[in-house]
Amino acid sequence: MIRTNQELLDYVKKNLNSDPQTYLPHQTLIGQGKRVNTVYIIKSGIAKCFLTNENGNDFVEEFFGEGEIVGEIEIINNHVSVCGVSAVTELSVYKISEENFKHFLDKDKIFNHLILKALSAKIHYKALRHAHNQSNDVEMNLLRIQKEFPGIFETIPKLDIANYLGITLRSLNRTLSELRMRNLIR
Amino acid sequence: MIRTNQELLDYVKKNLNSDPQTYLPHQTLIGQGKRVNTVYIIKSGIAKCFLTNENGNDFVEEFFGEGEIVGEIEIINNHVSVCGVSAVTELSVYKISEENFKHFLDKDKIFNHLILKALSAKIHYKALRHAHNQSNDVEMNLLRIQKEFPGIFETIPKLDIANYLGITLRSLNRTLSELRMRNLIR
DNA sequence: TTATCGTTGAGACAAATGTCCTTTACTGAT
DNA sequence: ATCAGTAAAGGACATTTGTCTCAACGATAA
């Protein structure tokens, strides 16, 4: 539910002596459709990666926590950002410029392998999550993400959760109140 | 809809002098939950990558065409396969052993970068596809994939298409007949 | 203070989707 | 030739989900 990458965070902390930068909730790190020239690695806090469609509806791809990296896809494949990325809670991030990122990727074998692993992990958890999302009903999906991150309803706004599950706020509320009635939640 | 990677295929054709192997429709390349020790790169044909859940229902992650690679995620992150992979049409694939793949990844900078790009591309199109899947209705999704791959209904079984869209066969048929009535399809 | 806006919650109804079942056609195996 | 299995198609009904609406609450700005 909240993705993390401790191995990458440790490596970045040790080998990148740059100061982290802070973002407040709702602040934007990367704008959808914008050119990306910085890689961000989350030191603490939660960010969301989301896609806004023609009707103004959001779909949340992932919630990113400690050690997760954003911006690398766009730089590697040299295209504008598919998703927007913004802070959900207060956020502390390490920034790496495009030049430095490409340089490390080329010259630092350990970093190169950490990125290969980070990308593979993203594909892996994306595959699992979307399979679950599509083959189970709202109730099961809610129970699953609540199990993965018990503090979810105190940390992440309901609308973001609904957009993560690909349902409306109404459906989320309906299912939540059913689960509450059956004492399966809260 | 059918993912391809011409750049990778070209490189593999030029630099790997191994003979491709053939699979018939329904044959399995990789079993879900199995250890993977071979990377496959599709020379021709279509494969599906899918996840079977506890109830026996499949969710199709992707349809892979020319140049797409499978097995690399599992080898890079050293875990068993999340998805099963099997042939949809007759398939011709190049195989690379785990050892060789790791060797190329480590020693061949061009290959390394092609894999970085392949992984990034997978994340990119997965993000787009799932956002579309979840924010649009069945009708729009059907029209979209039909536009991306006009021969779809003559090539891929209906149940696979339904499992790709995360809907039942009944829903697919219903929407198809509505679209036919309105002359928006076939 | 008052006004406004974002968030949460839920009622009533409409629309979309799933479940279950039946039919038809085609293919391959016996 | 017959049978079983798979794929495609759709009827009838139940269930789930979305749409539209209103209401309460708290935070923040005027």
CA distance A73 to chain B (A): 5
- Full pLDDT tens readout for chain A, 186 residues: 999 999 999 999 999 878 999 999 999 999 999 999 999 999 999 999 999 998 889 999 999 999 999 999 999 999 999 999 999 999 999 999 999 999 999 999 999 999 999 999 999 999 999 999 999 999 999 999 999 999 999 999 999 999 999 999 999 999 999 999 998 887
pLDDT at B27: 95
Does residue A182 or residue B120 have the better pLDDT?
B120
Please state the domain extents for chain B. 2-111
Q: What is the mean pLDDT of residues B152-169?
A: 96
* Short-list A185, A124, A133, CA closest to A164: A133
- Best mutation target, B124, B125, B164, to test chain A (most A CBs within 10 A): B124
Show the 3-state SS of A82-96: CCEEEECCCEEEEEE
Q: Does the CB of A52 fall within 7 Å of any strand D atom?
A: no
Domain covering B2-111 in this structure, CATH number = 2.60.120.10
- Compute the C-alpha angle A138/B148/A141, nearest 5°: 10
Exposure string for B41-61, b = 16+ CB within 10 A, e = fewer: bbbebbbbbbbbeeeeebbbb
Q: Does the CB of A108 fall within 7 Å of any strand D atom?
A: no
Task: Work out how many CB contacts closer than 8 A connect A with B.
Answer: 100
Ranges B14-23, B64-73, B158-167: which has the least confidence:
B14-23
pLDDT at B55: 87
Q: Counting Cβ atoms within 10 Å, is residue B166 exposed (0-12), middle (13-18) or buried (19+)?
A: buried
Q: Which residue of B has its CA nearest to A58?
A: B135
pLDDT at B144: 95
Which spans in chain A are helix H? 6-15, 72-77, 98-107, 109-135, 138-148, 152-155, 158-165, 169-181
CA A177 to C1' C8, whole Å: 12
The residue lying closest to nucleotide C17, measuring its CA against C1', is B171
Residue B186 has pLDDT above 80, yes or no: no
The residues facing A38 across adjacent strands are A97
* Average pLDDT of the residues of chain B: 96
Q: What is the mean pLDDT of residues B69-73?
A: 98
- Structure confidence by residue, pLDDT tens digits, B135-157: 999 999 999 999 999 999 999 99
- Structure confidence by residue, pLDDT tens digits, B83-113: 999 999 999 999 999 999 999 999 999 999 9
Contact A11, A111 (CB under 8 A): yes
Q: Does the CB of A139 fall within 7 Å of any strand D atom?
A: yes
